[in-house]
Chain A
């Protein structure tokens, strides 16, 4: 049960760790890091789902009949690109927030403006 579904346990653990960081940490950069861990867990979910027991890498080879499913891997490549774009945009926003407020701590920004 635990060994056979090892990947999925890791997915759940990473997802919860990431989600917790996003909620609990007041530092905006740490929030982005948490968001990244959260997204990474989903990447592993897709990649694990594409694996097939005893399957070879999906490259046509003579004498091999069972291949891993390449589609989830390709899908998640797109999602990784989206994740990179989100991280870049998030960090750019943090940079501009730092210029505008002089801090990246959520509670200090809240004290100044009442938002966030």
Chain B
């Protein structure tokens, strides 16, 4: 049986929210993103796009291209609040839905044709969201997630599109290969070098050829170009890893500062693990030098969520990774191989005092926020800390590429 998959995407979400708060900003060019030297554009209004601005671009460059634009730093908390309002509406109206990011939703409307007519139903849902929240939203409706997503992007801004069953291939054919989700800058270049520009060309290629060029990913791209995608709409996405990273406003070689930041990151992530009753078995430390060369190193460990085990391991990895005597631009920590569970106490290494201390600190954080108690060595890092439980099944609330 054919499925009916709806993809909803809030147009220039951060910009729309800012305009909702400050109606004076309507119809004016607007940039949301980092305002520091290293900041990048997280969202830009359609007015600025004419100047060549796009999201992910360094804020400085965007300001040069469009000097009259208003620049706003943005607040993740406000955005997630507005996103939740939209989520509530969708949740009430559709049988199965997936929130794939702060401003994107998939819904499985399969079988609803018999009662309502899916397109009509989706149109009403969109109108309802616009009326109740005041936020512009677009949708694409088709047989699977990939085609719907591409369709939404074609429909934007503030519009809707329906790809009738059987017309997926002709719909994709004239588009640029860049429009296929998964084709980034690198893959785009590789394909362009082969003389491929339109999806049509990929559609006509034999599968083996693209496999030779791009490997297993190529086959997936080829399938997507054919309009084939069987991924289901999953309502709850389990986190596979948690991570933080920090780009400095100014590159640094201050090892004490770097270690302080890594300590703060590890301490915070370990608290997230304990709060979500998770354990990690793999830690990764990432470092980017001022020349943009990025290195990372990972290590398998026994399942744990204890600071006093994780912090030394992170330091150990950092020591072996940081060997260039060069300015550092970014450091980051990631915990992966997560499982549900609590810390197994060690007979010889854990004293009752440490365990009680952890429990007390976690209690304080629960009540007064996750930066309420910190290790002194981690105090220098002012902005490390999450606001939200990462294990609630929601997509991470991050301003996409606020920094480059």
Are both chains from one complex?
Answer: no
Binding site for A on B (CB under 8 A): none
